[in-house]
């Protein structure tokens, strides 16, 4: 799983039937203190109603497919909105 920040949305009017009605969001991986990593941004299927600039947990590969629908080919799915990140007993991120 990745911790990532939602940076935008992707609109695709034509998509496979399993993705119909599902939001596609652009996410940027971040580290434990909320800073962007060197990893590139990518698109994830939103399963929890995340919004712009929210910090989210993203599942990948088989876990992402199961979160969406086992028959839909997806590589990344947003499965949680993060409230707090603690590193070594210190809160490094808190949702406002």
Q: Specify the pLDDT at position 70.
A: 67
Global pTM? 0.91
Q: Specify the pLDDT at position 85.
A: 93
According to CATH, the topology of domain 2-91 is OB fold (Dihydrolipoamide Acetyltransferase, E2P) (2.40.50)
Distance between CA 46 and CA 23 in Å, rounded? Answer: 5
Structure tokens at 38: 């060197």
The domains of the chain are located at 2-91
Distance between CA 27 and CA 43 in Å, rounded? Answer: 6
Q: Specify the pLDDT at position 33.
A: 85
Q: Which residues of the chain have pLDDT under 70?
A: 70
């Amino acid at each position: 799983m990745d911790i990532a920040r939602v940076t935008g949305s992707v609109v695709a009017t034509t998509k496979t039937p399993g993705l119909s009605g599902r939001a596609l969001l652009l996410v940027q991986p971040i580290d434990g203190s909320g800073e962007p990593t060197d990893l590139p941004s990518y698109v994830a299927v939103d399963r929890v109603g995340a919004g712009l600039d929210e910090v989210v947990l993203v599942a990948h590969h088989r876990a992402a497919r199961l979160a969406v629908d086992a028959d839909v080919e997806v590589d990344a799915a947003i499965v949680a909105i993060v409230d707090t990140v603690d590193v070594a007993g210190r809160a490094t991120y808190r949702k406002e």
